[in-house]
Every structure is written in structure tokens, then in C-alpha cells.
């Protein structure tokens, strides 16, 4: 089965490459888009006397979604590492594996001899000792970027339920991809501000500049005029000089916040003082072969107030136990020059369900995986997110009145 799955992934990757190099003729009709099928992960559980299990990674139809920093397609293309955690009545069972590996999972409460059957339908922390929680994380092995989450939706042994008993040999997780990214309107973007009102779509202000009839976003270099959504922050000449913002992660199926985040949620902040990292950088976008373009039009160095203000970024995820969605920010542009820009990107380090190791005696479990919840994957998280296509994750922000931006852009808008 694994051979067929690997061949399927290879065929999909080849199809993507060919599609990029050789677009379909214009006269061919576009395929009809349908809702994505669920993405399944089947895990076979080990009993006390078993020594063989298998893993089957299946998939449905990954139809095109709006291209963003995190997408359904990206989750399918880059996931190659998995972690499954079961928690019930203080009993913790965990396993990790790579694509193509055969995982081993022992010590799940309910599976052990003498245990009562345990219901693992929920992904939140167990409410009492008679139930359990089970969560699958899928992502990139290289940097442990979290790309998808999954819940247990079926367990065999005593009928097709979510109860695990001594008779259970196989459980099925239904997995959904994370989505996030900037956009050209408050409704389509993961990032919002309170520039012109309460934080949210209505309070988000953009700098827009028309090039060839396209008024969405601005260009930062005068040569190729690539457009990026640019969020406006209050400048030193405005009162107040502070602007608040938020970045919301979503999933393809269901509500990410109510299902996985918040108090007693499945996503636990890593247990150290460095549970997050943010980067305030000179805006850049990739050209080719490791070469990047930065701004030739706007001052790129922006000081976001004093040190205390910089450390106040992401205030809702710097302490405590659980990941809070959305991620919030505070910007102070009192010391920023008019018409300046900068790029912001961040990563939050989290664990699946618990910080604790497994409770199985003699377990070789190395402890919980330190995953990163971020605006992008690999080095692309430092590249500008253009709100349309590509894999960049950095948010472009600007400080100054519209006239200052327009004057700078007009000076470089030759055809």
C-alpha cells in the first residue's frame, strides 16, 4: 500500500511541475472545482504481545484553494513527519514517524488489558477520567512547521466508534490543513489591524497604488513592480502612535480556534521562556537561486518604538500553557520616519496535547516534539507574502500618510 501512496505523491508532484512549465491551452475548459475530500491517516495500534503494525496515509482530492502562505496544497506537498498523542486519566501515549516509516504505538489507555474502553473523540483536554483526547500533528520534518491537525474519527474492535478497547487494532484520524496568509481586503486576510476602528476587517487600512489598472497593494522595487498588500500603521504624526494587530490561523474544515486553541486546547505552548520568535526585517522577495530583492523606493529600517514595545509583540502567547488564536501585536511608530516600511514574521513553538513524556514503563520516547506554528515554512517565512500566490509568509507594513507613499511610487512608475 505504501508503495502505491508514494507513487501517487510522486505523480502529483510531477504534475505540479509540468503544469507550471507547460500551462494548459486556453481553449481547454478549466476543471470544475469541488470541495476537498478528507485526508485520512490510519494508525494500527500495538497490543501487549504484538510486534507488527502498518501505517497507511491516504488522501482525497486536493483541489486548488486560494494561494496563501499556508495552504491545503502546501500541507499535502511538504508534510513528511507525524506525531500522534493520546491522553486519558494521566496516561500519555505518543509516537512519531516519517513518511514511509512503520510507527509503533503502545500504552494507549483502553487498549491495555484490564482497562475500560475509552472514548477519544475529543481533541481538547479530557474533561474527566472516563474520556480521553487524541490529536495528530503533521508537518515538515526539516523545521517541524505544523501544517495539519487531525482528530480520531473511527476505531475498530467494538464497532465503528471512537472508543478504544482491548479489541481495537486500528484507528483513523481525519486530518485538515492549516491555512493562513495576507490578503488585499480585511475579509480575505489573516492579518487585521485597528488603524481605522476596532480590530478586524473594518479597521484594516491598506496602501494601494494603481499599476496597469491593478490598485491592489504597492510595489517596493521600481524594476518588476511586484505587488504586495501593505498594511498601514499610525505614524509619528498621528494620535495615538500605536496600532494593534492580529493574525488568525484557520483550518480547511472546522473552526481552528474553538477546536484546537485556547484554554484546555490541544495546542500547548512549549515549556520554556523562548516559546516564540518574531523577526522585524527589511522586506524582501525571492528572485531565483537564493537571490533576493529588497526595496529601492522606501526606507527599509523601521524602529518599532523602544525595547519594551518590541518585547510586547505577541503578548497573548508569551506565557501561560495554551496557544491563543489569533496572535496579537502592538506597534509603536513614534520613532519611525514617514514613508517607511518593514516586514514582520513570527513563529510560536508548541507541543501536541501535553509537555509531558509518555507514561509507559521502559518507553524510549524522547518527549514531546517542539513544533513551530508560523506564517510560513522553511526560509520562505522570511519572504514577503503577496496575498495571491507563492509561499512567502512575511507581512508588509508601512508608516506614513498616503501622500508620502504615493509620491515615492510616482517617482518610479515609468513603464
**Could you list the residue range(s) of the whole structural domain that residue 228 is in?**
191-410
Return the residue matching grid coordinates 491522553: 87
Flag whether 328 is in a domain. Answer: yes
pLDDT band at 267 (very low <50, low <70, confident <90, very high): very high
Question: Nearest 5°: CA angle at 20, between 15 and 25?
Answer: 90
Q: 353 versus 391: which is more confidently predicted?
A: 353
Whether residues 218 and 106 fall in one domain: no
**pLDDT for the residue 40:** 56
**pLDDT for the residue 74:** 67
Whether residues 349 and 256 fall in one domain: yes
Spatial CA neighbour of 393 closest among 66, 68, 80, 64? 68
- Domain end point (choices 178, 211, 228): 178
Return the residue matching grid coordinates 518610479: 412
**pLDDT for the residue 55:** 30
In this structure, is the dihedral angle defined by the CA atoms of residues 329, 148, 355 and 144, taken in order, positive or negative? negative
Q: Return the half-sphere exposure (C-beta side, CA atoms, 13 A cut-off) of residue 386.
A: 15
- Domain end point (choices 155, 178, 201): 178
Range in 76-90, 222-236, 264-278, 287-301 with the lowest mean pLDDT: 287-301
**Whole-Å CA distances, 105 to 99, 109, 350:** 16, 11, 22
**pLDDT for the residue 166:** 87
**pLDDT for the residue 168:** 86
Question: Nearest 5°: CA angle at 237, between 234 and 238?
Answer: 45
**pLDDT for the residue 405:** 87
Whether residues 238 and 93 fall in one domain: no
pLDDT tens digits, one per residue of 336-363: 778 888 999 999 999 999 999 999 877 7
Whether residues 122 and 254 fall in one domain: no
Flag whether 183 is in a domain. Answer: no
Flag whether 253 is in a domain. Answer: yes
**pLDDT for the residue 39:** 53
Flag whether 96 is in a domain. Answer: yes
Residue 83 and residue 150 in contact, taking contact as beta carbons nearer than 8 Å: no
Whether residues 220 and 148 fall in one domain: no
Whether residues 304 and 260 fall in one domain: yes
Q: How much is the average pLDDT of 62-89?
A: 68
pLDDT at 142 over 60: yes
**Whole-Å CA distances, 296 to 365, 384, 386, 399:** 51, 15, 17, 16
**pLDDT for the residue 72:** 67
Whether residues 21 and 157 fall in one domain: yes
Spatial CA neighbour of 241 closest among 102, 400, 386, 351? 400
Average pLDDT, the chain: 77
- pTM for this prediction: 0.82
Spatial CA neighbour of 415 closest among 138, 213, 144? 213
pLDDT tens digits, one per residue of 179-199: 999 998 888 899 999 998 888
pLDDT at 303 over 50: yes
pLDDT at 148 over 80: yes
Whether residues 351 and 387 fall in one domain: yes
- Domain end point (choices 154, 178, 202): 178
Distance CA 263, CA 85 (A): 18
Flag whether 186 is in a domain. Answer: no
Flag whether 147 is in a domain. Answer: yes
Distance CA 216, CA 184 (A): 6
Q: What percent of the chain has pLDDT over 90?
A: 29
Which residues sit opposite 281 in a β-bridge?
Answer: 343
pLDDT band at 255 (very low <50, low <70, confident <90, very high): very high
CA 230 to chain centre: 21
Q: How much is the average pLDDT of 125-149?
A: 90
The domain tally of the chain equals 2
Q: How much is the average pLDDT of 140-155?
A: 90
**pLDDT for the residue 257:** 95
**pLDDT for the residue 27:** 35
Residue 333 phi, psi (nearest 5):
-100, 25
**pLDDT for the residue 309:** 45
Whether residues 164 and 17 fall in one domain: yes
148: CB partners within 8 A, 6+ apart: 39, 75, 79, 137, 138, 139, 175, 176, 177, 178
Flag whether 99 is in a domain. Answer: yes
Whether residues 155 and 196 fall in one domain: no
Whether residues 226 and 105 fall in one domain: no
pLDDT tens digits, one per residue of 21-68: 223 333 344 444 454 444 556 665 654 433 333 333 333 222 333 334
Strand ranges inside 325-394, DSSP E: 327-332, 340-352, 371-374
pLDDT tens digits, one per residue of 305-326: 444 444 456 667 777 789 999 9
Whether residues 238 and 280 fall in one domain: yes
Q: 282 versus 215: which is more confidently predicted?
A: 282
Element of type H or E holding 228: strand 227-228
pLDDT at 6 over 50: no
Flag whether 184 is in a domain. Answer: no
Total length of the chain: 415
pLDDT at 8 over 50: no
Q: Which three cell numbers stand for residue 116?
A: 475500560
Is omega for the bond preceding 151 within 30 degrees of 0, making it cis?
Answer: no
Q: 63 versus 130: which is more confidently predicted?
A: 130
Amino acid at each position: 500500500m505504501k508503495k502505491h501512496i508514494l507513487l501517487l505523491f510522486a505523480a502529483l508532484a510531477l504534475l505540479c511541475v509540468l503544469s507550471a512549465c507547460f500551462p494548459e491551452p486556453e481553449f481547454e475548459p478549466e476543471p470544475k472545482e469541488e470541495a476537498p475530500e478528507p485526508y485520512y491517516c490510519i494508525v494500527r495500534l500495538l497490543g501487549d504481545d504484538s510486534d507488527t503494525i502498518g501505517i497507511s496515509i491516504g488522501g482525497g482530492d486536493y483541489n486548488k484553494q486560494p494561494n496563501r502562505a499556508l495552504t491545503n496544497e502546501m500541507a499535502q506537498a511538504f508534510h513528511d513527519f507525524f506525531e500522534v498523542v493520546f491522553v486519558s486519566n494521566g496516561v500519555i501515549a505518543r509516537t512519531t514517524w516519517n513518511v514511509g516509516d512503520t510507527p509503533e504505538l503502545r500504552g494507549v489507555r483502553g487498549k491495555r488489558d484490564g482497562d475500560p474502553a475509552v472514548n477519544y473523540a475529543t481533541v481538547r483536554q479530557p474533561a474527566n477520567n472516563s474520556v480521553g483526547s487524541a490529536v495528530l500533528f503533521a508537518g515538515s520534518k526539516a523545521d517541524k512547521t505544523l501544517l495539519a491537525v487531525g482528530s480520531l474519527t473511527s476505531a475498530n474492535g467494538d464497532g465503528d466508534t471512537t472508543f478504544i478497547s482491548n479489541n481495537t487494532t486500528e484507528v483513523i484520524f481525519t486530518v485538515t490543513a492549516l491555512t493562513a496568509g495576507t490578503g488585499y481586503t480585511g475579509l480575505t486576510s489573516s492579518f487585521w489591524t485597528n488603524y481605522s476602528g476596532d480590530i478586524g476587517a473594518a479597521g484594516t487600512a491598506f496602501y494601494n497604488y494603481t499599476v496597469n489598472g491593478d490598485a491592489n497593494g504597492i510595489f517596493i522595487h521600481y524594476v518588476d513592480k511586484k505587488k504586495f498588500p501593505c498594511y498601514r500603521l499610525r505614524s509619528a504624526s498621528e494620535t495615538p502612535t500605536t496600532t494593534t494587530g492580529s493574525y488568525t490561523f484557520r483550518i480547511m474544515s472546522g473552526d481552528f480556534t474553538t477546536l484546537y486553541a485556547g484554554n484546555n486546547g490541544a495546542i500547548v505552548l512549549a515549556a520554556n521562556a523562548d516559546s516564540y520568535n518574531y523577526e522585524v526585517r527589511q522586506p524582501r522577495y525571492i528572485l531565483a537561486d537564493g537571490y533576493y530583492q529588497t526595496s529601492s523606493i522606501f526606507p527599509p529600517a523601521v524602529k518599532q518604538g523602544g525595547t519594551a514595545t518590541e518585547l510586547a509583540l505577541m503578548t497573548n502567547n508569551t506565557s501561560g500553557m495554551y496557544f491563543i488564536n489569533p496572535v496579537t501585536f502592538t506597534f509603536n511608530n513614534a520613532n519611525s520616519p514617514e514613508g517607511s516600511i518593514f516586514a514582520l514574521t513570527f513563529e510560536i513553538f508548541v507541543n501536541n496535547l501535553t509537555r509531558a513524556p509518555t507514561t509507559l514503563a521502559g518507553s524510549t520516547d524522547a518527549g514531546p516534539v517542539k513544533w513551530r506554528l508560523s506564517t510560513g515554512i522553511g526560509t520562505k517565512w522570511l519572504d514577503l507574502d503577496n496575498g495571491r500566490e507563492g509561499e512567502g509568509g512575511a507581512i508588509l507594513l508601512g508608516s506614513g500618510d498616503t501622500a508620502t507613499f504615493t509620491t515615492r511610487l510616482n517617482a518610479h512608475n515609468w513603464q
